Amino acid sequence: MGDNVEMGVYPIREALSMAAEQGLDLVEISPNADPPVCKIIDYKKYLYEQKKREKAMKAKATKVVVKEIRFGPQTDDHDYEFKKKHAEKFLKEGAKLKAYVFFKGRSIVYKDQGEILLLRLASELEDYGKVEQMPKLEGKRMTMFLAPKTKK
């Protein structure tokens, strides 16, 4: 109940009159309990405390950042190395990585080359991240997800 009210099971009328005597509100804390749990407090203060708790919880929650790297099925070594360096940096920063090979026009005939490229990237980045989803062809793009390795 409230600060100066003994805890116990009270009829609703009695609880409401006790709250009115103190100039406070009867607030239902957990309606699903049997019997429902109520408290005699200032409702505005209760809302304020609740908002403060939610804000603190939100601040603690981590936001997942997903960075994307795009390849072509015929990406040459220099471009590959350049993009691999970026991928390494993203994983070190703790972001998830979405690497994909985009097949334009008739280049879909090179889908095996695209898969080889993504698997090569995964094996070269295994010190920094682990494969969350193996290369999968979806329409005109083959996608693979990497998650950063957790620091010990």
Note whether 92 and 139 are same-domain residues.
yes
Domain of 133 in residue numbering reads as 66-148
User: Do 111 and 142 reside in the same domain of the chain?
Assistant: yes
66-93: per-residue pLDDT in tens? 899 999 888 889 999 999 999 999 998 8
- Rounded to whole angstroms, the Cα distance separating 16 from 109 reads 75
Q: Do 76 and 140 have their domain in common? A: yes
Which residues of the chain register pLDDT less than 70? 1-5, 151-152
Q: What is the pLDDT of residue 48?
A: 94
**Same domain assignment for residues 49 and 71:** no
Which amino acid makes up residue 97? L
Q: Is residue 7 part of a domain?
A: no
Would you state the pLDDT for residue 70? 92
Helices 77-92 and 111-124: crossing angle, nearest 10°? 50
The structure's pTM equals 0.56
